[in-house]
Structures are given as C-alpha cells and as structure tokens.
Amino acid sequence: MRPLSNNTRGAFMMMAAMAGYACNDVLIKLTAQDIGLYQAILVRGGAATALLAALTLWQGQVTLPQSSRDRGLLVCRILTEIAITVLFLTALLHVPLASITAILQFTPLALTFAGVVLLGEHVSWRRYSAIGIGFIGVLFVVQPGGDTFNVYALYGFAAMLGVVLRDLLTRSMSESVSSVFVAFCTAASVTVMAALVSVTQPWTPMSQADTALLLAAAVCILIGYICSVTSIRCGDLSFVTPYRYTIMLWAMGLGWLVLKEIPDVLTVLGTLIITATGLYAIYRETVVARADENTDST
C-alpha cells in the first residue's frame, strides 16, 4: 500500500480540523445562550489550554523555539490569532451571519493566491477550476443576503485577511517547532483575551450540563487547533485550504441533528458541489503522485 502524499495527509488533517471547529461552534452556541459568549470561551479555553499544556509536557516541547526567526513568527501568530478572534466576534455582533460567513469563505482563494505568489507553489488549471466550482457551492450554502454591508463588514474582511496571515506565518515556521506547542500558545492567547473581556461582564453560575458541554468543546477545539496547524505545515497551501469548505458540511449536518435546523434545496445542492470538488481534488492529487512515481522509476 502506497503511503499518503503530504498533500493528501494535509487534506485529511484539514477536514479533521474543520470537524473539530464545527463541533466546537455547536457546543459553544448551546452554552453561550445560558452563560454568555466570552464566559463560554474562557471556560472552554482554560480546559483546552490545560489539555494542550499536558500534551506539550508529555512530548517534551515546553521550551520556546530555538531560532529568533521562529520566536518572532510565533509571537506574530499569537497576536494575529487574538486579532482574528476580536475582529470576527465584533463583526458577528453587527453583521448578519450569512454575510459574515460569505466574507470568510474567500479565505481559501486568498490563501491559494498567496501560496502561488509568496511561496511559489504550482497550481494547475484543474485545481483552480475545482476551487472555483467549490466556492460556487459555498455561495449556494451560505446564500448571502442583499443587506448592505456596514462598517463592521470590514471587520469580517480584516478577520479573513488575518486568517491568511496566520496560516502564512504557520507555514513559514521551521519543522523543529512543535505543532502541539503552537496550538498551546494559540489556546492560551485566546483564553487570556476572553478572561480580560469577561471581567467586564457579570459571571453566570454554570450547570453541570453546561460544564460538560464546554469540556467537550475544549476537546473539539484542541483537535481543531492541532490538525489545522499540522495541515498547513504538511501540504501545499493551494491544495489543503479548499478543504476549509468542509466545515459547511459539518455545520449543516450538526445543525440538523443537534439544533433541528433543516437545510433547504440550495444548501443541499451546495453541499453536493463542495463534496464533489473535494473528492475530485483528492483524485487529481493521487493521479499526479502516481505519475511522479512512474517518472522516478523510469
């Protein structure tokens, strides 16, 4: 059995990350209705940080990166992560969810462009076509409304650019930097941010059910952090980033099963398009990998 290529492993890691993020979003939505958003993020973040700290200690990756370049990249990534969280949550409070989601779905296209221009990655016309068709599917799913964007829509656009910068910083780190340590720093930074904001808001006593849900959310966000960092560092940005679209599949399925939200026809159609283009991209990667193997063997 042939080992998976870096791009294929990166794709599976990205899909696992999106599953973790989607499950986290549902759990946060369920608990935030009772205790408030920032309190939920703080409790979840505290648990996730503790788990990541234990994992980092177990792997012996507690120390900071050795090179000053990697330390600088890590600090910039932490600050970018905090900025993304603040910008996204601020936009979410003032812009319709469909609109802000549509803005953020430009991230894979922006990352593909950045991977080609800044990192010199090669992208064939087939991959460009798959990304473009997949994005059409995303538009069917999110169905942006006709509401006029206000100034807070720019916050969402800035958050999208922040995601692009964060992933480029992640990709630029050397392989000696532990992905688990990077995930730990991410969880800790977001938790500190939530703690600073939550002190300005009243603290709501939590039920056992809310506590259990937030602990589960901590595990889900841990999976999201680790798998997303590993994915970006494993495969080409232009290949793995379209798999961010799969978060829509998880969100729709969990919305139906957990939140009792029934998808409409356009949502189902968009889901089928996203799935088809994703499978096609994996198929093309397999064909290219086999062709390279045949060339090397001759």
pTM confidence score: 0.72
Q: Sign of the C-alpha dihedral, residues 197, 203, 208, 210?
A: negative
pLDDT digits (tens, 9 = 90+) for 242-251: 787 788 778 7
* Structural domains in the chain (count): 1
Domain membership of residue 61 (yes or no) is: yes
3-state helix, strand, coil in the chain (%, to 5): 80, 0, 20
Burial 141-177 (b: 16+ CB within 10 A, else e): bbeeeeeeeeebbebbbbbbbbbbbbbbbbbebeeeb
Model confidence at 149: pLDDT above 60? no
CA distances to 8, 126, 131, 289 from 285, rounded to whole Å, are 7, 11, 14, 6
Compute the distance between CA of residue 186 and CA of residue 190 in angstroms, rounded to an integer: 6
Structure tokens at 238: 């232009």
Compute the distance between CA of residue 31 and CA of residue 152 in angstroms, rounded to an integer: 25
| % of the chain residues with pLDDT over 90 | 13
Tell me the one-letter amino acid at 284. R
Domain membership of residue 158 (yes or no) is: yes
CB 171 within 8 A of CB 232: yes
CB 228 within 8 A of CB 15: no
Domain membership of residue 12 (yes or no) is: yes
Q: Which of 1-5, 54-58, 210-214, 267-271 has the lowest mean pLDDT?
A: 1-5
What pLDDT was estimated at residue 269? 81
Average pLDDT over residues 155-170: 85
What pLDDT was estimated at residue 148? 45
Confidence of residue 89 (pLDDT cuts 50, 70, 90): confident
C-alpha gyration radius of the chain:
19
pLDDT digits (tens, 9 = 90+) for 181-220: 888 888 899 899 889 988 888 888 999 999 999 999 999 9
Model confidence at 29: pLDDT above 90? no
SS3 63: coil
| % of the chain residues with pLDDT over 70 | 78
Domain membership of residue 1 (yes or no) is: no
What pLDDT was estimated at residue 225? 82
Confidence of residue 79 (pLDDT cuts 50, 70, 90): very high
Structure tokens at 206: 């939590």
Tell me the one-letter amino acid at 76. C
CB 176 within 8 A of CB 70: yes
CB 254 within 8 A of CB 260: no
CA distances to 103, 155, 203 from 37, rounded to whole Å, are 22, 18, 11
Compute the distance between CA of residue 28 and CA of residue 19 in angstroms, rounded to an integer: 14
List CB contacts of 292: < 8 A, sequence separation 6 or more.
none
Domain membership of residue 36 (yes or no) is: yes
pLDDT digits (tens, 9 = 90+) for 251-281: 778 878 887 767 677 777 877 787 777 777 6
Domain membership of residue 164 (yes or no) is: yes
Compute the distance between CA of residue 13 and CA of residue 151 in angstroms, rounded to an integer: 35
Which structural domain, as residue segments, surrounds residue 256?
6-297
DSSP codes, 152-219: HHHHHHHHHHHHHHHHHHHHHS-TTS-HHHHHHHHHHHHHHHHHHHHTTSPPPP--HHHHHHHHHHHH
